[in-house]
A and B are shown apart, each in its own frame.
Chain A
């Protein structure tokens, strides 16, 4: 399934992972905007209005959860869904993400198929 014309913001402070996710999403056919920290992510979302934001949770500066809350609080961005991509897989961490306003999460390490399924779920519903 090609995803032409749809843009996804990816934010992760780990360069390798950010490149890995970007490559996967591009292979899925999405336009990818990548950010290396929370502030950058927030600025790019406001600037580019992506269809989806995939955020790492543990980032220096603004965390993924804080970015999510900021997006949800902003009228201009509140309609943009967020998937959290996290190594913090404990139940409490996951619950906190949903509470902050994320639409779902993907555990690290991730299966490409699972990532795609989650994206389709969120975009299909939006």
Chain B
């Protein structure tokens, strides 16, 4: 949640400058000039959009640098007024709209509409003004022209009315001239009359005059009898006699007219001829002090029409009798009028309808004469009769703008001037009205206004929901545009008057205090506010709102409501948050990873960033490194290769792994550093930075070295052990062989000796003992050799069909004599077992070992039971004795080589300690298991299990 403090005091029109690039682009596309002025002592210009150059010819730079430019360009007639308006607006801090003229660089007069608002700073002090300038020159020109013509037409109507009514000739003429003078905003209007002398010279004399403010000239004897050639104006005579007007600036006149007129302060003039009865009677001279005064054709035409009316009036006055001729003249005047002239009787029926009225309203005179006023609607009847009543009361009126109707039913805007119509006795009998069609001007005005409105709409039609709400806990909406539905998913109608929900209820609970606080502050300092907060949308999502608003106060200073706009900025916020999260994550990673990271500027290879791990490696802090190069902190022999790598990386635009080397950086112990350097490219693919990734691998490399040394040592030891083992096996085999050779002779010759018949009993016994011990020695040698073979993994089975029952029986039979010697009962409980593949000799050895062990450890008179059974998948051989048993603690070691139990040792029972290991090796070579259960003092049972399905040979081959 971020309250945009930098734009606090920003204004409710978000299009203004300072609102970001998008808005700026928008305003610089608009067909108007936007600006921002600081409200400091000199009102310096802070921003002016570039359109100003096209409009006024002065580029933006001049507006920004020349504070006086605006005042200099203000039209002199507008300057005082406009500066006063601006000053007042800035003082009061209110919005301002004014229309004025500026003089463009090329001398054009440009009419501008200038609207601005005052923006306050955080303290509520007016800080600057933001506004726009709209070129309304065209509209002004249209208005001026149309207004001028209307004014003159109005004056013509007055002239007509004055002269035709003819209450007093003198009075009427002077009123007519005054009407013309005012309508044309002239300074003086003179009526000259021609007079031919006896010699045929054309003399002129002034007869009537209207003056705006100067001294009258009408009594000037000079003008009572003079001539145009006397002023060098001979050239006017054919023009005026030909019915044409003369107009232009005084400066363009010949002397002495120019001199005389200039002395009187006349800048420009118009002269229109007056004809009476078809003859050139004289002329109207209209003077204007303004040299630059442009006399538009419409004005001149109107003046000529007025002159025509004056002429008609003179003719009528010249006439001795008020006759039909006079009526005819009157009719002629009315007919000639370019404005619609219509007369009504006391009942509102038409009694006069001139051709201009026919053109204006569409009805021919014949259609409407005697009928009720046709151009008022039913609804306007009473109103019209009201006007008639006013006229009957003897009063007229001027320049009333009103809507009337044409014959085709269309509306027409007219400007009406009316006067009571009197009969010969002065009795009011009706009214006469002159109506000017102002539809065109209205339309032009409407178009101009519409154009302005369009711009204003464009400006104000920013995406977002516009609202007016009460300052209460609910933010009760008095108005809320439909755009709110696009933001929240709820229709605007939901919020109006809290119909379905309050606006406060859709503000995220965590943000409500912030919104309340910002608005309360804004209300307190009476300025705008900007606040960004989250909205809970209908679909359950969270949207970010950017709200700009302002409190509105009544005239008495009471807080009325808030006006503002709510914009959906979720997308922008999400991007911002994502960026901020990503940046925070990256920062924390960079700060905390145990890998040194540093960044150098590609241009000068100076350090820009160094993370803590890199500080550790380099022995300098980031502050010490920032802005410095390697050569500034490290000795040349280190720095030079560093920078060489840097340049290599930047030139190749690809990563480089620097060779690992022990470096004594920062004066500490040498470290082994592994560095990877990566170029960071800008958008154009040029290297902008260099990223160094430096890892202190000292400990790792040390550990690796130690480990390698240890491994080598172990391998060596292992090799030695293996060698020893091999030597042992070979030794055993050799010993076995070398022992067998003498044993062969011993046993062979003992046998030969025993075969001799004539031996004494003693000799016989001695030889038996020698033979028994020789056999024992042979068994020991064989067992040793067997164990050596097993150890060396060289135990080969001579596989064939095995008949376990036979092996068990034979083994028992062989042992019987020894059992009998000790009075040990040996029983066999064996059944047929399926034949299986195995080494009969070795398995016989197993049985012999187990049975002979049992006899060995069974005291005299004991029992040994040999059992054999099978369950189809395995054969189980058990040899149970009632012997000494085996201490439980010694059971686990029973099958170890050369292991002799305490019992065996204690009782000095003969044995090598090889019988059970050999037994176990044979059983396991057949895929079987051997186990022993024993209770000390009760006996022991050895159990061998052999898998019947197993074929050891096949298994070995597999």
Residues of A at the B interface (CB closer than 8 Å) are 14, 16-17, 20, 23-24, 58, 87-92, 107-110, 112
Contact = CB atoms under 8 A, between A and B. Distances in A.
Contacts of B751: 112
Contact of A87 (B744, B746, B747, B752): B744
B744 A110 contact: yes
A17 B743 CA distance: 10
13 contacts: A17-B748, A20-B745, A20-B749, A20-B752, A87-B744, A91-B796, A108-B741, A108-B743, A108-B744, A109-B746, A109-B747, A109-B778, A112-B751
B183 interface: no
Interface string B795-811: 01000000000000000
A90 B741 CA distance: 14
B785 interface: yes
A23 B744 contact: no
Contacts of A112: 751
Nearest to A23: B752
B745 A16 contact: yes
A89 B752 contact: no
A114 to B, nearest CB: 12
B736 interface: yes
A89 B733 CA distance: 9
Q: Most chain-A CB neighbours within 10 Å: which of B733, B737, B738?
A: B737
Contacts of A109: 740, 743-744, 746-748, 778
A21 to B, nearest CB: 8
B740 A90 contact: no
B388 to A, nearest CB: 150
B698 interface: no
Contacts of A92: 794
B748 A87 contact: no
B145 interface: no
Contacts of B749: 16, 20
Nearest to A112: B751
A17 B745 CA distance: 6
A24 to B, nearest CB: 8
Q: Most chain-B CB neighbours within 10 Å: which of A17, A89, A92?
A: A89
B498 interface: no
B789 A90 contact: yes
Contacts of B796: 91
Nearest to A20: B748
Nearest to B749: A20
B789 A14 contact: no
A20 B733 CA distance: 24
A20 B747 CA distance: 10
Contacts of A110: 744, 748
A17 B744 contact: yes
Top 9 A-B residue pairs of the complex, sorted by shortest distance between their CB atoms: A87-B740, A109-B744, A108-B744, A20-B748, A16-B745, A109-B747, A91-B796, A87-B737, A87-B741
B57 to A, nearest CB: 116
Contacts of A89: 736-737, 740, 782, 785
B744 A58 contact: no
A64 B747 CA distance: 23
Contacts of B745: 14, 16-17, 20
A56 to B, nearest CB: 9
Contacts of A16: 745, 749
A11 B640 CA distance: 85
B790 to A, nearest CB: 12
Given A109-B743, A109-B778, A88 B737 contact: yes
B762 to A, nearest CB: 25
A23 B755 CA distance: 13
B794 A91 contact: yes
B936 to A, nearest CB: 39
Contacts of B785: 89-90
Contacts of B794: 90-92
Given A90-B785, A90-B794, A58 B737 contact: yes
Contacts of B733: 88, 90
B377 to A, nearest CB: 136
Nearest to B733: A90
Interface string B730-767: 00010011101101111111011000000000000000
A78 B751 CA distance: 34
Contacts of B737: 58, 87-89
A24 B752 CA distance: 9
A94 to B, nearest CB: 10
Interface in B702-752: 733, 736-738, 740-741, 743-749, 751-752
A23 B737 CA distance: 23
Given A90-B789, A112-B751, 15 more contacts: A16-B745, A17-B741, A17-B748, A20-B749, A24-B748, A89-B736, A91-B796, A107-B740, A108-B740, A108-B743, A108-B744, A109-B740, A109-B744, A109-B746, A109-B748
A74 B745 CA distance: 33
A87 B778 CA distance: 11
A121 B745 CA distance: 24
Nearest to B797: A91
A23 B749 CA distance: 10
Contacts of A87: 736-738, 740-741, 744
A11 B27 CA distance: 123
A91 B747 CA distance: 23
B743 to A, nearest CB: 5
Q: Most chain-B CB neighbours within 10 Å: which of A16, A92, A107, A109?
A: A109
Contacts of B778: 109
Nearest to A91: B796
Nearest to B729: A90
A22 B741 CA distance: 16
Nearest to B747: A109
A89 B794 CA distance: 12
B658 to A, nearest CB: 58
B778 to A, nearest CB: 6
B422 to A, nearest CB: 161
